[in-house]
Amino acid sequence: MINIIPAIDLIDGKCVRLTKGDYNQKKEYSASPLDMALRYQDIGISRLHIVDLDGAKSSSPKNLHVLEEIATRTSLDIEWGGGIKSDEALRDAFNAGANHLIIGSVAANQPERFAHWLDSYGGERLILGADISEGRVAINGWLEQSELTIEELIDRFRPHGLREVICTDITKDGMLQGPTFELYARLQAAYPEQDIIVSGGISCMDDIRRLDEMKLRHVIVGKAIYEGRIGLEEIKQFTI
């Protein structure tokens, strides 16, 4: 059964969602990050996806106080991304309570550093974040586009114990139009030893059921929950 990973995106310590990664298309939600995390824990969710959008635009995490609060008040397995671009930021995020860190820009721009981190911390603690647009990897909070493909990134780090890859199709993110099913099926078939985590575009439970039937292992869900298209009771069926 596919593992549903709810998402919390942060700007100024508040829950937000962007459309296609555009910071100018931001919607803020009233529930606090901790309240959302507690709700997810109550229905049996085990893993939470948190992105520090302020950190993603800058050179270091900016919302670690939120991470520390959620890590202290819940038993959730937390994957955290945004602004992890230095050894210090890496240590700070782990010390604040992250169980896993998502590395995107460093993997694309400084592959030797990410390879070293993988060798040091292990693939069970570091996740490759590959945000793609028109077939190319985007970096620095989706504000820049590299020349790399996701396959080139995965191939680069497989020898260093890479185990998980979050692939976000930016063209689908926040659009509530369904994910790019074929992309994820192709990647998972090509890399059976890695978990390809679906991210971007989930609009309803039917999307999740289809991914489950396609043998995808993990899916991140964000805006569809906040907009009421997927209810917590529906998610609960996948946590039993």
Residue 9 known to be catalytic: yes
In the chain, what percentage of residues exceed pLDDT 90?
A: 77
Active-site residue, selected from the candidate residues 9, 169, 173, 207: 9
Active-site residue, selected from the candidate residues 52, 131, 195, 207: 131
Residue with tokens 């991470």: 67
Residue with tokens 């994820």: 184
Residue 131 known to be catalytic: yes
Q: Are 115 and 149 in contact (CB under 8 A)?
A: no
Output the pLDDT for position 18. 77
Q: Which domain holds residue 124?
A: 3-236
pTM to 2 decimals? Answer: 0.93
Residue 83 has pLDDT above 60, yes or no: yes
Taking CB atoms within 8 Å and a gap of at least 24, the contacts of 108-111 are 108/137, 108/139, 108/146, 108/148, 108/153, 109/139, 109/146, 111/156, 111/157
Confidence label for 141 from pLDDT (cuts 50, 70 and 90): low
Return all residues near 156 (Cβ < 8 A) that are at least 6 apart: 107, 111, 115
Query: pLDDT digits over 166-212, tens only?
Result: 999 888 877 788 999 999 999 999 999 999 999 999 999 999 999 99
Query: Any idea what the CATH number is for the domain that residue 162 is in?
Result: 3.20.20.70
CA 233 vs CA 40, 200, 238: distances in Å: 10, 21, 9
In the chain, what percentage of residues exceed pLDDT 70?
A: 97
Number of domains in the chain: 1
